[in-house]
Every structure is written in structure tokens, then in C-alpha cells.
Amino acid sequence: MKLTAGIAALLVFFAVGEVGGQPVNTNTFVLLPVKNDPTISFRIWFKVGSQNDPVGKEGLAYVTGQMLSDASTQTLPYAQIIDKLYPLAAGYSASVSVEMTILSGRVHKDNLEAFYPLFRDAILLPAFTQEDLDRIKSQTINYLENTLRYSSDEELGKAVLYNDVCAGSRYGHTVSGTAAAVKSIALDDVRAFYVTHFTRDNVVPGLGGGYGDALVTRLAADLGSLPSGAPVQVPLSAPVPLNGFCVTIVDKDAPATAISMGFPIRALRGEREWYALAIANSWLGEHRNSSSHLYQVIREARGLNYGDYSYIENYPQGGMRHVPPQNVSRRVQLFEIWIRPVPLENGFFALRAALRELKSLVDNGLSEEQFQQTRAFLKKYVMHYAASTMERLGYALDDRFYGIEGSHLERFRTMMDEISRDEVNAAIRTHLQFGRMQIAIVSKIGAAFRDALLAGTPSPISYKTPKPEDVLTADKEIAVFPVRVKEENVRVVPVTEVLAR
Amino acid sequence: MHRCLLFCVALLFAGNVAMSKSIFPYTSWKEVLPNGLTVYLIPMESPGLVAYYSIVRTGSRDEYEPGRSGFAHFFEHMMFRGTKRHPGPVYDSLITGIGASANAYTTDDYTAYHLNFATEDLETVMDLESDRFQNLFYEEREFQTEAGAVYGEYRKSITSPFALLNEKLQDLAYDVHTYKHTTIGFEADIKAMPEAYAYSKSFYQRYYRPENVVILIAGDFHMQGTLTLVRKYYSGWTKGYVTPQIPREPSQKSERKATVTYSGKTLPILDIAYKGEMFDPANRTYVAAILLGDLAFGETSDLYKKLYIQEQKVEFIQASVPMNRDMPLFEIVAMVKHEADLPGIQEEVYKTIAKFQAHPVNAQKLGDMKRRRKYEFLMHLDTPDKVAGGLARFVALTGGIEVVNRFYTTLDRITPDEIQKAAQRYFTPDRRTVVVLKGDRQ
């Protein structure tokens, strides 16, 4: 192991060609001092993500991130790193998204001196050993081939949706890559990716909590020994405009039908219009919240599933969290509707019900009452988005990503007082629409679903228990709500082919 | 009505944790109303934010009647359907109006209702929460509709191989105790839930009583004012808790084994489970077992390094020694890359147990483990929600939070000999149930 690590070290240094450079300018740091916080939070942001994956090496950014956080360094083998971190109850991890890679760690102040060298060496002196790569690739392939395809139909649906909407661009693959591409990743790929992207010119260090000035100086000096190299710019490639409803049905032996759908939007956090759109979105589908109108229609009134939500920003692992994640920022966002698994016989009905509500929002906008209640809700609700220092630090980095002066969360609250209903309804008209949408469906009745979509077959619903008259009346409209799909816009894909290459 | 100061010294994380006498870093106040409701107030620095947890000491463990598995969880859903004074839509509207983050979850031993909100809304929340705990009201039609949402929750989860594995393991390992079923319940029982309207009323009457509930309020609030509100809103709640008749599990006589087929593709999963013991901070052997799980199979263990890092035969291996009111399963779970390796890995697990049964553990490793446990607990307490949420299981197990210090004091004193004794007591073939799960696709 030591010999291998030594060879890897030589290769890295040879490739870098230059170490011990100037300290990173501390003016570039994102700092969030919290005097009474007994812990210190690190978020070291490298401006690289899955959009930088070379063609045929999809997943390389993700694998490289794990090769920094969950692998040996030139100083210590992985097993010894674990041993040293263990009594500290501290650790570090890599989070890779489309445009951002974050090396984050948190430690109690008592343990900073023991923790810091381990964290530093993970970033500066990765060993890049074959055995670590084998282990990390194996986990990634297992996730792609088994976990994502078979164990959560809703995560699968979302992955298919994002890949389809962004097909043809560097956004058009899952962060974890494809099974075939990950299998092809070699150590040299990882080394080359690291040297190109993990440079001192491409890093934004974030520090939060009870740290002192000395740590800022120390971190700046240490990161200065990263190789130099300008950030690699990935041209922003706007997704191809959708031609009506485009549907991918993943055919698999699923006990229920999972649906995700959406289309690209141009609104980005920080812009006044985005906050107006956020009010409309919150009313339609606030995540994991009974205030969501879609939730009220599909779950609360009809009991068809566990929940129904909408989004104007990427929200990975939505089933595992209640408030938005940090550091998954991206220059192109989707408007997205997530319908959690519904009974097989109600798949088309649920799809129609959600689209009918979207159309109503697009056509009518928000009423004064809906507007007032939602903006009052959001003004307070956003305070739950970042309760801890680590979360606030994450938001501060995202502010840097989006070029927001001050704080997005503070601006969010201010905007809830400033924005008018007219602005909200104007934002709906500008950014939302009905009719051009990518739809991902995971179901075991793939062919039948396709046929029903193409024929516009009515999808009446019946209940084993009584329902109020207004629900039954609406059901009749939902059952025949027009969702016109052209034959060339529907494809049925066996699950074994999803995320394969 | 009485009050007492529980934790008089707030350490505020200062100094070396290993030297501390009291691990819980915040001062807390306890109030017990004449009706038996216990309330803990935990002020902490969290400008303008409060976390409010109502912990009902009823979970799937209490579902002892035939055909009622999953009912505690189902009932958690019904608690959002409102009262006559605050019908469901009004409750939702008021919670939305104050921008609260509100939710609930159900476990084997308890059900927790939790809200995070702004300090100025504390009275609104207390009014709403005390009302639904005392005056819940819903029509049969709403009840039946909610059963559909619960079935939806089952459907979204059951595609995971681990959901199937746990369902089969618990069913096999227990003969009569209610840990025989998972918290979500058997599918047949979930399907039949719409028929159980009358039963749901009885469930509420028996378990949603003040003696069976503990409220934790953490964050930024005025102590005296909050105590006044507690008395105002909860004093009228009447006693009436009925103890569930949970069958006692007989001693297991011999090893049990099963193979389960998962409809889909997965790497094989090996689950080796041993009947353990109920949570008791005074039972040093039990507390030692909690440390043993990590020492023998955690990421610093020899076996983890061998199977996960060096030989790379498993995608993961881990142990869990849970804290429960009754006898839980102490489990070692591994996801294995090649089916042919299953017998060898099983043998490695047994050899590791035998090693811990034969020799006391290295004292340095034990010290590292204790240190980690304490820092882990402390570092988790950085927001009101995490403080209240982190205490919830301790409350469910014992009815209070005092046990936290007792538990960590015992943990700090565990010796290598006691780790050996725990390995000898619990990890024996007659207590063992082994389930192997395999996918039906290649």
C-alpha cells in the first residue's frame, strides 16, 4: 500500500509541476464567524462538477470527489485516516453536484489540531491508489445498476427526467455517471481531472463557526500549494426546447407508478422575478408540506399517494429532507412536479390531475388570498432553511455562486414584503407554461400507459369509500383532461437500459 | 404541580468532554402537571427560533391486537385532521400562516410530533397542539381517505430491499412480541385500515393521554411565560392511559434461518441478528454491547478493514445495537459483492464474535470509542430541533431526559472485561436469527 501511494505521489507531483505557491487570497474566502459556536465548519468549494465530466467518462467528477474524501492520502492509508478521525467524532466528505464540488468537514474546537492535517492532506495530497479506486467504482456502479434502478422508483424517475430535459448538454447525465462510463474510469483519468480542476485558482474556501484568524491564514497558505490553473469554463448550453409533451416510460416490475415532470426555466435565485416565482411555486407545491396545493388535491382529498410537490430549483434526495439542500447550484434550473408513487390503476389520473392544476395556475395566476397567505408563510418558513452554522455557510457559498450581494435568505424575507401579486402572476406567465413538458413515468404497465396517453383514453377513478361531491365533480373533468402526446414523443425503456451508457 | 431544576451546570462544550461529569450542555426545567403530563423547557441560544416536540410513548410496539400492525403510524397521520375548533384545513392554514415547519414520525417505541417556528408564535402553537391532543375529531370519510395516503407511503418504501429484509427478519425472530412487525406494518393490515374507524377512536382514548406524553420545548423563549402557557393549555387534559397488553417474548431456544427473494436486482444482503436486552443505563453489560457493536464491526474494526478496505468483498458492513423499551435485535448487516462469498463472510463475523468473547478489547480502542460517542452527541446539539429531536428516544424509553447523563456516565466507565462479557452474553447461537436476501434478477 505504501509503495503504491508513493508512486501515486510522484505522478501527481510530476503532473502538477509546481507546489508551494502563493497563499490563496483570503479576500476570496467565504467567512461566517460564530463566536459562541464550539465547532468549526469547513466547506471548500471547487468550481467543478459533473458538467466537467469528459465525454465517455461520465461520473469522473463524482469519483474524483470520493477519491479525495474516502481514500488514502500520501501521508496515510485510508484505514489509518479512519482510525485517527474516529475518536474526534469528526469527518469530512465530498459532495459533487452538476457545477459544484464541496469538501466539507466539521470538528469540535477541542479537536481542530488533530483534524486539520487530515482534512488538508485529503485535499492537497491524495494518494490515488488503485485499491481505493476499485472500491469507489464498485460502490458507484452498485448505486447506478442496482440501487437507483430498483430500490426507489421516485429517485429513478427524477434521474430520468433530468437526463431527458438536459440531453445533449453537459448537464445531461446523472452526477454519479453511467454504469459503462464509470467502469472505464482509470487512475490516470482521476489524476488528470484532479490536476485540471482542483487548483488554487478554482477554489473558494468557506469557514464557519468558532474559528480564529490564524486558521484563515493557515488554510490560505495550505491551499496555496494546490497547482495553479484557471477554472475550466463550460459553455452554458440551453436545453433543446421541448416539442409538446415528451414522455419516457421506464418499464419495470414496480408496485406503483412514480411520476416526475418538468421543463427548463430561466429564473435564477437572486433575481427579483425568482422570488415572485417562488411564491407561485410554494402555493402550488411546497416541498413536504400540507400547504402544497398539489398535495391537497392528490393526497389530502383523494388519498392517492404520500405527497405531491413542485420545485423551481434542483432538489436532490427530496424524500430524505424537509428543507432545500445547499451547494447544488446550477445555471439552468427546471420547474419540476413530483408525484409520489400512486396505485397502478391511477397513474394517468394522477398525471392529469397535476397537469390540470398547473394549467389552472398558468391561466389564472394566484388569487389575492392565495398570494397573501403564501408570502406570509414563506417569509417565516425560510428561517428553517439554515438553522446550523454549516447550513448557513452553505448558503453563503451559494450566494457567491449566484453573485448575490448580501444574503439570499435575507433577501428572500425582504422580497416577501416587497413583491406584489401582479409581479407573481407576471412571473408565472413568463416562466411557467402548459403544454411543453418532459414527463418521466416508472411503471410496470409501460406499454398500456403509452397506448392510453396516445389515445387520450379517459382515466376515471373510483373509490372504495365515499368522497365529497366537489371531489367527484372534479374527478369527471380530470378523467378526460386533455394531455395530447404525439407518438414520436413517447418512448418505453426497459429499466435495464436506464443509466447504462 | 412541581418544578425542579434538572441540570444545574451548563458546560457549554467548554473543556475536554472526557473529563465532564454532566454531558448534557444545557440547563433545563421540568414541569409535571397534576394530570401527569411532563414538560421540559430547554432554553438555548437560537435567536427567535423554537422547537416543540410532543412525544407520545406509543409506537408499533404497542400494536398488540391482531390485524393492527402499522396503526400507531396510521394514527400519526390522523392527528393532522384537526378538531371541531380547528378543523384540518384551519389547522393547516394556521400552521402555514406562522411559517412553521411541522411534521411527525413514528418509531417502534414512540411517536413524535414536532414543529419549528418563531418565538412570537409559541402561544398559537401551544393552543393548536394542546387542542388536537385533547380534542381530535375526524369523520369516517376523512379517516378512509388518509388510509390511502398511508398505503402510498408503504408503496414508496417497499421497493427497497432493506424494507423487505426487515419485514422478514422481525417476523422470523419474534414469536409473539410486537417487535414481530415493522413500524409501517404488514401490507394486509394496511389494506384493512379503512375499516378501523371505531378502533381508531379507542386507540386515541387509550394512548393519547397526558401520562403517556412528554413535551420538549427547546430554543429561544421566556421561561416563566412558557410555563404559564403550559398550565393554561394542558391542565384540562384528563388522565386515562391504558397500558397495552404486550406479550412477553419467550426465550429463543435455537438459531433461526431464512432466505428471502427480492423482486429486483440487488447485491446479496446478510443480516445476522441476536436477541438483545431492553435499554437500561444501569445494566453495564447492555451499555457495553452498544460499544461492542462498533468495536467489532464499525469502521475502525479489524473486520471492516479486512472485508471493506482490503479484500473489498462487501459494499458495507455495520452493526447496530439499538435502544428499545423491550428486547431489540442486535444486528450485523453486510451487503456482499459476490454470492459465493456469503458463507465465508458469515464465518468471519462468527470468528470476530468469538475473538471478542475470548479476549478483552484493547483499552485504547475502547477509550477512543467512548470519546467519539460523547463528541458525537454534543456536536449534534447545535439547533433547537436537534436538541429536542436528539432527546426524543431517551424520553420515549424512560419518560424523561435525566437518563442522558446516567447513560453516558455508565458508558464512560465500561471496562474491556465488560465488553467481553457483553459478547458472551448476547452474541450466542441460541439467540441468533440469520436472514439472507437475494435479488431475482442478474
User: What are B195-232's pLDDT values in tens digits?
Assistant: 999 999 999 999 999 999 999 999 999 999 999 999 99
* Contact at CB, A142 and B315, closer than 8 angstroms: yes
Q: Which fold has domain B2-7+26-234?
A: Cytochrome Bc1 Complex; Chain A, domain 1 (3.30.830)
Residue B7 has pLDDT above 50, yes or no: no
DSSP for residue B433: E
Across the interface, of B158, B372, B382, the residue whose CB is closest to A255 is B158
Pairing verdict, β B213-219 and B256-262: unpaired
Number of H-type helices and E-type strands within chain A: 18, 11
Backbone φ, ψ for residue A146 (5° rounding):
-115, -60
Q: Which helix (H) or strand (E) holds B233?
A: helix B223-234
Q: Which residues of A touch B12 (CB under 8 A)?
A: 36, 38
* Contact at CB, A303 and B45, closer than 8 angstroms: no
The answer to whether domain B2-7+26-234 and domain B256-360+415-439 are alike in fold is yes
Other beta carbons less than 10 A from residue B34's beta carbon:
11
Decide if A237 contacts A310 (C-beta within 8 A). Answer: no
For A315-360, give the secondary structure using H, E and C.
CCCHHHCCCCCCCCCCCCEEEEEEEEEECHHHHHHHHHHHHHHHHH
The predicted structure's pLDDT at residue B158:
86
When pLDDT is averaged across residues A470-495 and rounded to a whole number, the result is 97
When pLDDT is averaged across residues A67-89 and rounded to a whole number, the result is 97
**Most A-contacting residue of B105, B145, B269, B306 (CB-CB within 10 A), to test interface:** B145
Per-residue pLDDT tens over the stretch B285-339: 999 999 999 999 999 999 999 999 999 999 999 999 999 999 999 999 999 999 9
Grid cell at residue A238: 440551453
What CATH number labels B256-360+415-439?
A: 3.30.830.10
Distances from the Cα of A462 to the Cα of A90, A255, A474, A476, B142, angstroms:
54, 19, 13, 11, 16
Per-residue pLDDT tens over the stretch B223-245: 999 999 999 999 999 999 999 99
* Contact at CB, A138 and B13, closer than 8 angstroms: no
Domain boundaries, chain B: 2-7+26-234, 256-360+415-439
The predicted structure's pLDDT at residue B155:
87
Distance from CA of B264 to the nearest CA of A (A): 6
**pLDDT band (50, 70, 90) for residue A286:** very high
Pairing verdict, β B111-118 and B49-56: antiparallel
Higher-pLDDT residue of A412, A466:
A412
**CB burial string A229-253: b at 16+ within 10 A, e below:** beeeebeeeebeebeebbbbbbbbe
Residue A17 has pLDDT above 70, yes or no: no
Instruction: Return the residue of A nearest to B11 by Cα.
Output: A38
Q: For residue B123, which of B231, B3, B229 has the smallest C-alpha distance?
A: B229
Question: Bridge partners of B56?
Answer: B111, B213
- Residue B423 sits at the vertex; the CA angle it makes with B418 and B426, to the nearest 5 degrees, is 115
Percent of chain B at pLDDT exceeding 90: 88
When pLDDT is averaged across residues A337-360 and rounded to a whole number, the result is 97
* Pairwise CA distance, residues A336 & A342, whole Å: 18
Other beta carbons less than 10 A from residue A266's beta carbon:
13
Is A84 in CB contact (< 8 Å) with chain B?
no
Is A473 in CB contact (< 8 Å) with chain B?
no
Chain A window 188-217: which residues touch B at a Cβ cutoff of 8 Å?
A: none
The predicted structure's pLDDT at residue B135:
97
Other beta carbons less than 10 A from residue A36's beta carbon:
9
Distances from the Cα of B343 to the Cα of A397, A424, B349, angstroms:
48, 62, 10
Q: Which residues of B touch A344 (CB under 8 A)?
A: none
Domains and CATH numbers, chain A: 2-223 (3.30.830.10), 245-494 (3.30.830.10)
Per-residue pLDDT tens over the stretch A164-211: 999 888 899 999 999 999 999 999 999 999 999 999 999 999 999 999
Identity of the amino acid at A157: G
Pairing verdict, β A101-108 and A39-46: antiparallel
Chain A window 366-405: which residues touch B at a Cβ cutoff of 8 Å?
A: 373, 376-384, 387-389
Is A93 in CB contact (< 8 Å) with chain B?
no
* Pairwise CA distance, residues B418 & A387, whole Å: 40
Percent of chain A at pLDDT exceeding 70: 96
* Contact at CB, B96 and A377, closer than 8 angstroms: yes
* Contact at CB, B379 and A39, closer than 8 angstroms: yes
When pLDDT is averaged across residues A118-131 and rounded to a whole number, the result is 98
Task: Count CA atoms closer than 13 A to A132's CA, side-chain side.
Answer: 27
Residue A21 has pLDDT above 90, yes or no: no
* Pairwise CA distance, residues A486 & A318, whole Å: 31
Distance from CA of A399 to the nearest CA of B (A): 22
Residue A19 has pLDDT above 80, yes or no: no
**pLDDT band (50, 70, 90) for residue A71:** very high
The predicted structure's pLDDT at residue B441:
85
How far is CA A366 from its chain centroid?
A: 28
The predicted structure's pLDDT at residue B208:
98
Distances from the Cα of A117 to the Cα of A84, A210, A491, angstroms:
11, 18, 52
Q: Which residues of A touch B99 (CB under 8 A)?
A: 376-384
* Pairwise CA distance, residues B263 & A254, whole Å: 9
Decide if A57 contacts A189 (C-beta within 8 A). Answer: yes
* Contact at CB, B439 and A150, closer than 8 angstroms: yes
**pLDDT band (50, 70, 90) for residue A289:** very high
Identity of the amino acid at B403: V
Decide if A236 contacts A331 (C-beta within 8 A). Answer: yes
**pLDDT band (50, 70, 90) for residue B5:** very low
Instruction: Return the residue of A nearest to B103 by Cα.
Output: A289
Which stretch of A99-108, B126-135, B338-347, B365-374 has the lowest confidence by average pLDDT? B365-374
The predicted structure's pLDDT at residue B317:
98
Residue A230 has pLDDT above 90, yes or no: no
* Average confidence score pLDDT of chain A: 93
Higher-pLDDT residue of B148, A120:
A120
Longest dimension (CA), chain B: 65
Q: What ipTM did this prediction achieve? A: 0.89
The predicted structure's pLDDT at residue B11:
29
* Contact at CB, A304 and B152, closer than 8 angstroms: yes
Longest dimension (CA), chain A: 76
The predicted structure's pLDDT at residue A318:
92
Identity of the amino acid at A338: W
Q: Which residues of A touch B309 (CB under 8 A)?
A: 78-79, 131, 135
**pLDDT band (50, 70, 90) for residue A20:** low
* Pairwise CA distance, residues B290 & B88, whole Å: 42
When pLDDT is averaged across residues A458-485 and rounded to a whole number, the result is 95
When pLDDT is averaged across residues B369-387 and rounded to a whole number, the result is 92
* Pairwise CA distance, residues A162 & A44, whole Å: 26
Residue A8 has pLDDT above 50, yes or no: no
Residues near B224 by Cβ (< 8 Å), separated by ≥ 6?
A: none
Is A340 in CB contact (< 8 Å) with chain B?
yes
* Pairwise CA distance, residues A298 & A304, whole Å: 6
The predicted structure's pLDDT at residue B126:
98
Grid cell at residue A17: 509541476
Grid cell at residue A216: 484563515
**Alpha-helix runs per DSSP H in A166-264:** 179-184, 187-197, 213-223
Strand order in the sheet with B432-439: B256-262, B432-439, B269-275, B329-336, B314-320
Residue with cell string 434502478: A149
Per-residue pLDDT tens over the stretch B78-108: 999 999 999 999 999 999 999 999 999 999 9
Is the whole-model pTM more than 0.95? no
**Most B-contacting residue of A104, A150, A155, A309 (CB-CB within 10 A), to test interface:** A150
* Pairwise CA distance, residues A126 & A217, whole Å: 22
* Contact at CB, B13 and A38, closer than 8 angstroms: yes
